[in-house]
Structures are given as structure tokens and as C-alpha cells.
Amino acid sequence: MSGRLSVLAAAWVVARRDFTAILFSRSFFFFLLGPLFPVVIAVLAGSLGSRVDASQERPVLGVAMAAADVEALEHARARLAPALDEELPELVAIRWLAEGESYDPAQALAPGKAKVAAMLTGSLERPVLTGPGGLIEAWRGPVAMLAAQARSGTVPAYPAVALEPVTRSDAAERKGRFATAQGAQTLLFLLTMMLAGMVLSNLVEEKGNKIIEVLAAAVPMDAVFLGKLFAMLAVSLVGIATWAATAGLLWLGGGIAPERLPDPAVGWPLLIGLGVVYFAMGYLLLGSVFLAIGSMATTVREVQTLSMPVTMAQLMVFFFASFAMTQPGSAVEIAAVLVPFSSPFAMLARAAREPALLPHVMAIGWQVLWVVLLVRGGARLFRSRVMKSGPAGKAKRSGFRLLRRR
């Protein structure tokens, strides 16, 4: 060997060494049992769902009737609201019809049109509800009550409400995709936080027994960091694949029956693919920060002291991305996409809500750029703080012999 390996070749050597050493260790079995504990955290994280749901608008019932009927319905709701506000749907006038004029409710329920969950047409004597089957069935009684109050202001006999179910409405579809985005974002955060810590513990352990200094003397430090990052990423993907296969077997065997989430805008195959990519980007971004922290720590206590602010900051990043999800198209969402640590979460949520693919290509390129910058920055920090100790020539020769044996 006349000189050092190239950065990519050396990174492959380091990654292969770390991957095989961890994968065939006894501790890897206990690592696979790790998700049993975060399940409790996942349940507690459901409290975030209540905050997100509160930020969403209530389902709105569009009305297309004669002007007098629309006004009567609005007045009837105002009278009943003090006692029954939660049970009564919100009303919005979509069209005031002239005498003899008809209106097709599908016009308001088409994607991209008025943001209503269902439509009320016909007359006060014969109201017609059009919308998703479950929703209009739940609204049958409240609408009959409103129509009865609107006809006389007293308590006459309720009119029969005709139901015309449709497969979907724009408002229901948006709300369903929002639930899918929330679930994907939470799962991505839990996996990243649970698995990225392996990078930190591995580096501190090798610093303690001087292996990292031998490697750094034999190959470029950038290659050491890259190799360790991708080795830990590969181990994490093996763990995720094992957990996914176990969950799939339980589902096929009837042991569990998870509720089916609404289909995302890009479709399930592409969302899962983007989820893997964004997990890798989030893992590499957070792992590069943990590597830099590990270069400054010499003991486990120092690791805990230095990593705690990063963990808290990552929680804030997740809450920031979750809040940005409730503000689509706003400056907050754009900021969440541009901040590298929140970008994977924001973009995965966007994949569940929007079908466009070009923004994902640009976002992934942006995240890759930040991974490179953070790895190089961490490598420089390591060289400046750690590589001052020990005779470089002796460590370099030992490193070459170690690599040749491997």
C-alpha cells in the first residue's frame, strides 16, 4: 500500500467493519427489542393529535336553496346554537337559487372547489343531503331539526331528509390525508430519535480504546465519519425491516388489526419509498451532529451532558414541523422545509397531502448538501480536538496494518 485509500473506498472499509461487528453481536438482539418501550411514548404522543385536530376547521355543510330558505336555516341555527352548537353543523351558503332553478351538489363537492364536507339542497319541506355516507347519516337528525325550526320557529314534525351518499368530498379527503401525514411524521420522528443515538455510543466506545485514532491515522477522517454513519444507518434499516416484517406477520395472522389510514396524495408505495429516503436523511443529519458531539466527549457523563441539548432541540424541531403541517403554503411551512433538521419531517407530511414530486427531488438534494457539510465540519472538529495526541507515524503504520488484515 503506497498511500491512503480514497475517501469512498476507506468509508466502505470502515462501514463494512462496523456493520458486521454490530450485526453479529449479542447486543443486536436486545436492540431489536427496543421498540417495545417506545410504544408507550407513541401512545402518549397521541396527545399531539388533539392539538392538531383542534387546529383543523369543523366540517362545513354547504347550502344551495332558495334565498328565503337559506336565511331561515341560518336563523334557526342561531337560535339553537346556545344549547346544541356542538351537534349542529356549520352552515355556509353556496348558492341562493331563484324560483325553479336547480343546482348539482357535485359542483361544490368536487376537489378544489368550495371547502365543504357535504351539501344541503332541495327545500325545507324536502331537504336532500349529499356527501360521504357516514357524515350525512350523522347529520340527518340535526338537519331535520334545523329544517323544522326554520319552517315555523316552533317544534313541528321533522321532515324526512333524503340522503345521497358520494364516495368522497374535498374536505373529507383533505382531513384524511392530514391524518396520514401526521402518522407518517410521528413515526419518522420516533424512529430517528430511537436509532440515531447508536452513532454517539459507538464513537465514544472506540475513542476509549483508541481504535478511532488508529483509523483516523490510516484513512481520511471524513471517510471514518462517513463509514460510521452509513454503517449505523444500515444497521438501523435492518432493524426497521425486522420490525416491519414482524408487524406484517402479526397482521396477516390476525393478531392485530390496525385502523386503515386514508390514502396519501402520492400513493402508498411512493410514500413508503419517500419515508425510507427521509428517514435516511434525518438519520444522517442527526447522526453527523452526534458524531461531532462524540468527538468532544471522553466519558459517558460528558456524552449525556452534551447530547441532552441536542435531544431537546430535536423535540422542538419536531413540534415546529408539526405546526408547519397545519399551515400549508405559509412562510412557516417554507421555513420548515428549508431548515435541514426539520426538512425530512415537513417534506414527508407534504408527500401525504400534495401529489407534486419535484419539491421532493429538490429537498433531498438540499438535505444531502447539509449532510456533506456537517460530516466535514465534524471531521475537522475531531482532528482539531482529538488527533493532537499520540505519535502520528506510529498510529498511521498501525492503522495500515489493521486495514490490510481486514
pLDDT tens digits for 170-192?
Answer: 566 677 788 888 888 988 998 88
pLDDT digits (tens, 9 = 90+) for 295-348: 676 666 776 677 678 778 888 999 999 899 888 888 999 999 999 999 999 999
Instruction: Provide the residue type at 251 as one letter.
Output: W
pTM of the model: 0.65
Read off the DSSP letter of residue 387: T
pLDDT digits (tens, 9 = 90+) for 273-283: 999 999 999 99
* Residue 198: burial class (beta carbons within 10 Å; 0-12, 13-18, 19+): buried
Tell me what the mean pLDDT of segment 268-274 comes to. 91
Q: Residue 317: name the closest of 285, 290, 291 by CA.
A: 285
Joined together, the cell numbers standing for residue 24 give 453479529
Q: How many CB atoms sit inside 10 A of residue 355's CB? A: 10
CA angle 387, 393, 396 (to 5 degrees): 70
Give the whole-angstrom CA distance, residue 186 versus residue 107. 35
Q: Residue 44: name the closest of 315, 252, 251, 233 by CA.
A: 315
